[in-house]
Amino acid sequence: MGKALIIGCGGVASVVIHKCCQNSEVFEEICIASRTKEKCDNLKKKLDGGKTKISTAKLDANKVEDIIALIQNFQPDIVINVALPYQDLTIMDACLATKTDYMDTANYEPEDTAKFEYSWQWAYRDRFEKAGITALLGCGFDPGVTGVFSAYAMKHHFDEIHYIDILDCNGGDHGYPFATNFNPEINIREVSAKGSYWEDGKWVETEPMEIKRSYYFDGVGEKEMYLLHHEELESLGMNIKGIKRIRFFMTFGQSYLTHLKCLENVGMTSIEPIEFEGKQIVPLQFLKAVLPDPASLGSRTKGKTNIGCIFQGIKDGKEKTYYLYNICDHEECYKEVGSQAVSYTTGVPAMIAAMLVMSGKWKRPGVYNVEEFDPDPFMEALNRWGLPWKENFHPILVP
Ligand code: NDP
């Protein structure tokens, strides 16, 4: 069908690239472009020989002109941004300049402020619409599949959804006392921030990790989970009509939390630059350099993830509850694509989204979140491409 330019070559990108190569009818040609070209070349070496033609390029995605030049040279149908949230706007600018469709898995975050929200990217709506191109925002698992699940529940199971609880459980064990499952800098910025949830049309803020619940997860067992702010709360709060409350919970083990607290207490999670031996360094970036690379966790991680949404609302005048979720096995992912389940559950939806935009099913000029499109082809593709979903009509509710 066409060509995709994939920007970034880390944990998530590696899964996207493997999945594009499995889906060579759609992805006839891909170019892998990232800051460290060696990583792109290594993946190309591993995957060359299949039907998808692979090329690589060195790219600094902070430089709009460089991205434009690469797009003009490669002429992709879509740019899949799986670099870091800091690069979202430069890549969107380059897509506008070249009239190329765009998608990503995380919303823009300025490097010097730990604050993420959609406003910066939603501000591109008119320009994308006028240019006749699509930007699809936040299409990993959460955000991403959680939005697809919400649209599916709305379309097939409810007249009104009043409550959504998004539960993200990682029951995996990598054997290290402390490591993060995706980019450590982004992960620690997310979990050390204040929590919040959306209720009756406004944000309710909590202290970091203030709200804790226990939940029994299918395939994993009983886990402690904590309320976090998360980006899809913002778009679902707007796009799901009649919604009264949306919360997001993520599980954390005690060892992770104890280490994080200690690192916070000594200042290692700060993003304020400090002077060290005559050089400016950001403590969190230094911490990232000494922590295990998330890409290296795959071979050691055992156990499963379980991510999904519990919906409560009304159907045909009666109260109804509905739980949609996916269980993913770390070791199975590693066998298939050489990555652990956190990268896998993000990379597979990114490939599916790119496929739907390229095929025209999810193509609409403007800037959109996933729940604004028809969920059915996406739900079908999840079953086909490695993330089958389960449903429960009588789930245990979160107090
Ligand atoms: P990694 O740190 O493993 O990979 C990031 C990649 O981007 C690296 O290859 C890095 O290059 C490259 N990169 C960084 N800066 C630049 C730049 N200026 N120009 C070009 N390339 C650059 O991160 P992950 O793969 O774990 O995460 C990727 C994205 O996925 C993030 O935005 C993350 O927030 C998001 N994510 C979304 C989830 C979801 O469910 N929606 C879940 C998990 C992650 P180098 O190799 O040189 O460091």
Residue 323 CA to residue 310 CA, distance in Å, equals 4
Average pLDDT over residues 199-216: 95
Average pLDDT over residues 366-379: 98
Percent of the chain at pLDDT > 70 equals 100
Average pLDDT over residues 169-192: 88
For residue 343, which atom of ligand 1 is closest to its CA? Answer: 43
The CA-based angle 121-127-133, given to 5 degrees, is: 90
The CA-based angle 6-7-9, given to 5 degrees, is: 95
β-strands 389-392, 318-329: how paired? antiparallel
Secondary structure element (H or E) that encloses residue 343, with its range: helix 341-358
Given a cut of 90, whether residue 289 has pLDDT beyond it is yes
- SS3 label, residue 219: coil
- SS3 label, residue 280: strand
Average pLDDT over residues 340-367: 97
Using CB distances shorter than 6 Å, the residues near ligand 1 are: 8-13, 34-36, 39, 59-62, 82-85, 87, 105-106, 140-144, 182-183, 186, 294-295, 346
Instruction: Work out the pLDDT band at 114, boundaries 50, 70, 90.
Output: low
Say how many Å lie between the first and final Cα of the chain, rounded: 47
Per-residue pLDDT reduced to its tens digit, 160-176: 999 999 999 999 999 99
Given a cut of 90, whether residue 109 has pLDDT beyond it is no
Mutate-to-test residue for ligand 1 from 34, 136, 228, highest number of ligand atoms within 8 A of CB: 34
Q: How far away, in angstroms, is 114 Cα from ligand 1 center?
A: 16
Instruction: Work out the pLDDT band at 69, boundaries 50, 70, 90.
Output: very high
Of 51-55, 70-74, 185-189, 372-376, which range is least confident?
Answer: 185-189
